[in-house]
A and B are shown apart, each in its own frame.
Chain A
Amino acid sequence: MNATKVVAPTTTSRSVSRKFSLGGLFKAREAGIVLALIALVAFTATQNSRFLSAQSIRDILLGTAILAVLAVGQATVMITRNIDLSVGSVLGLSAFAVGSLLQANQGMPVIVALVVGVAVGAACGVVNGFLVRFGQVPALVVTLGTLYAFRGAAYFWAGGEQINADELPGHFLKFGNSSILGIPWLVLIAVIVLVVAGIVLRNYRAGRELYAMGSSPQAAELAGIKVGRNTIAAFLVSGALAGVAGVLFAARFGTIDAAAGNGYELNVVAAAVVGGVAVFGGSGTVWGAGLGALLLTVIGSSLAVLDINQFWQQAIVGALILLAIGADRLVAVRVAKSLKKRDSHV
């Protein structure tokens, strides 16, 4: 919890070194993930050349796209020192809402489906935001509750019903599988979400306020930042992006039931944490979260290609979370020590 407070004073030294690095886009954590990714891909490819086939890469990218969109929303919330565990359920609600709408209106354009998904997700996000803001209870408890409430609502609505690919309009399924200039639509959307969120968080006042809130809520309040309003906005963004992810999920798989996205929250939190977003706010980037999503997806398909028991995947996710927060702690202790040393010379 103290990590962020301790790290804060180093911003000056970081902005100096920024000139020499790749535009400061990548911090040490991101570089580490990229290295791990390269090593993993290289090793897996030498074991089985199938891993680098076009189809395999496509699958990895499509899987990453959905997870990355969710992880961007999660990063936005976690930066404010909150957490949104309900994203998997929101994805399920949105996917089923869009699926049943398309089932009834075969001519509905994809963009309308996206808007509906965003609206459903945003509504769920606003519920989370209001409960956290006005209930003054930890987001963990609220979103643990809405995780089950939203999932229950999806089951209530869907019953045992399942929407199959042959009931969905062709143009929607094509959207899930086709590409533009060689880039699948899903990946394109994920990249747009990443870039927009990354720029807003990094360069705009609205984004910087979220970091300030996460570093020290009291100080942010004193500095005149509307903490309550921003909290609701962050949950709205996370919900809306989970809604987008629901539409992407529906387009990619074509088969939707009330269990869509069940258990995703764990992978989403893992992606953000592994990508360097601190659980207690104030630091991390959406780039990191996106890379975390890519790493988790690559691990998943590596295990499959290497013929390792798929059940290892969840254990690896857990181990990665522990490793990531442990590494953060280590860095924080180091920085605190070096600061103390520097102060003693003054």
Chain B
Amino acid sequence: MSDKRPAWLSRLASWDAAVIVITVLVLLIASGVVENFGSSRNFTFLLLDLLPIALIALPMTFVIVTGEIDLSVASTLGLTSAVMGDLWNRGLPIETIIPLCLVLGAVLGALNGFFVTVLKLPSLAVTIGTLALYRGLAFVVLGDGAVADFPRAYTSWVTGTIGDGPIPNMLIPLVVLAVVFGLVLHATPVGRSVFAAGASEQAARFAGIRVARLKFWLYVVSGLVAGLAGVLWTLRYSSARADNGLGMELAVVAAVLLGGVSIFGGKGTLPGVLAGVVLLATLQNALRLQDVSNEALNIVTGVLLIISVLLPNIVIRFRAALRRRATT
């Protein structure tokens, strides 16, 4: 690291700080320019929309920092939702169904973890496989029908707000989980092991970190949280469907990378990721209010994903060029 860099440059070069600044700017501009964006109703919807992405992004950050990936999260969400609908159809009480669904999510995650850490298969290929497998099973369980009529007490709590304000109830568990995940990643030995495993798996192993076991549990947590997101998704729309969350893995991976996590592992911060989630959700929400079609929004997500992985490289090269000029 060069020491004579001007302070403004080093701050700019810290990508996650930049994302937080950009996110705040986009929020301000959107509420100034886009009609209805600043309304409390829209604010509630914005928060509810980003909830599943934010939830799943928390463990995904851990997984990507260790240098692996989990593309099966959206399918896990879908399968959990389908099973939830099926069990409800069979007449099980919701108090039994929800814990079962969380266990299911954890089991699906454990299966990914087993393939990646015990059989030592590449996580990319494994989770592309389970992406298809879990989504396929979701359709096997529920077909293309939908199950509605979940208990009002649950659905209205999930869609409700704190007091009569604009802040949805669901923000409470999200904030609690975000704080827990943030503390674990940035202030505990577990977090340091995650970074070490991503920076150099071999070095981490020599340092006594049980990398395989760590990764296995990260996949379990990833599946568990995706299962939780599946339950919440089902309750929010009061509709269990096999195609719930279809394609959401892109939004999650895009948000995590946008938040400054390196796809090569070993680098990233949770505040940056949360800013990435908010930025993505804000842009999509604002564009949707401007009557931009859902499909055109895909361009925004795709391009943002590409930019967010390209830009850090460009910044590094730019800094290297500056340094070269300074030394000559």
Contact = CB atoms under 8 A, between A and B. Distances in A.
Contacts of A319: 129, 133
Nearest to B309: A137
B295 A152 contact: yes
Contacts of B115: 322, 326
Interface residues of A, number: 44
Given A135-B310, A148-B299, A311-B143, A270 B132 contact: yes
B136 interface: yes
A240 interface: no
B305 A141 contact: yes
Interface string B145-182: 00000000000000000000000000000000000000
Chain A interface, >50% SS class:
helix
B298 A136 contact: no
B119 interface: yes
B42 interface: no
Contacts of A156: 295-296, 299
A258 interface: yes
Contact of A329 (B121, B130, B144): B121
Most-contacted residue by chain B among A136, A144, A155, A316 (CB, 10 A)? A144
A314 B135 contact: yes
A142 B309 contact: yes
Contacts of B140: 309, 311-312, 315
A146 B130 CA distance: 22
B137 interface: yes
A9 interface: no
Contact of B134 (A148, A152, A318): A318
A141 B253 contact: yes
Contact of B126 (A269, A317, A322): A322
A264 interface: no
Contacts of B134: 318
A8 interface: no
B253 to A, nearest CB: 7
Interface string A141-172: 11011111111110110000000000000000
Given A141-B263, A142-B309, A148 B122 contact: no
A131 B306 contact: yes
Interface in A236-280: 258, 266, 269-270, 273, 279-280
B131 interface: yes
Given A152-B298, A325-B126, A142 B136 contact: no
Contacts of B130: 318, 322
Contacts of B300: 152
B132 A145 contact: no
B302 interface: yes
Contacts of A325: 121-122, 125-126, 129
Nearest to B292: A156
A149 B303 contact: yes
B120 interface: yes
Given A315-B132, A315-B137, A279 B295 contact: no
Interface in A322-338: 322, 325-326, 329
Contacts of A135: 306, 309-310, 313
B297 A314 contact: no
A135 B137 CA distance: 37
B313 A137 contact: yes
Contacts of A317: 132-133, 136
A65 interface: no
Contact of A279 (B125, B263, B302, B313): B125
Contact of A318 (B69, B131, B303): B131
B190 interface: no
Nearest to B143: A311
Given A145-B305, A313-B136, A266 B131 contact: yes
B114 to A, nearest CB: 11
Given A141-B305, A146-B306, A318-B130, A152 B297 contact: yes
B309 A141 contact: yes
B217 interface: no
Contacts of A309: 140, 143
B152 to A, nearest CB: 31
B128 interface: yes
A270 B129 CA distance: 8
B136 A315 contact: yes
30 contacts: A135-B309, A142-B309, A144-B253, A144-B302, A145-B254, A146-B306, A148-B299, A149-B298, A149-B299, A151-B295, A152-B298, A155-B293, A155-B298, A156-B295, A156-B299, A273-B125, A279-B125, A311-B139, A311-B143, A314-B133, A314-B139, A315-B136, A316-B136, A317-B136, A318-B132, A318-B135, A318-B136, A325-B126, A329-B119, A329-B121
Interface of A: 1, 83, 131, 135-138, 140-142, 144-153, 155-156, 258, 266, 269-270, 273, 279-280, 309, 311-319, 321-322, 325-326, 329
The 10 closest A-B pairs by CB, nearest first: A318-B133, A315-B136, A152-B299, A318-B132, A314-B136, A148-B302, A155-B295, A321-B129, A149-B302, A311-B139
Given A151-B298, A318-B136, 14 more contacts: A138-B264, A141-B257, A144-B305, A145-B306, A145-B309, A146-B302, A152-B297, A155-B293, A311-B144, A314-B136, A315-B136, A318-B129, A318-B134, A318-B135
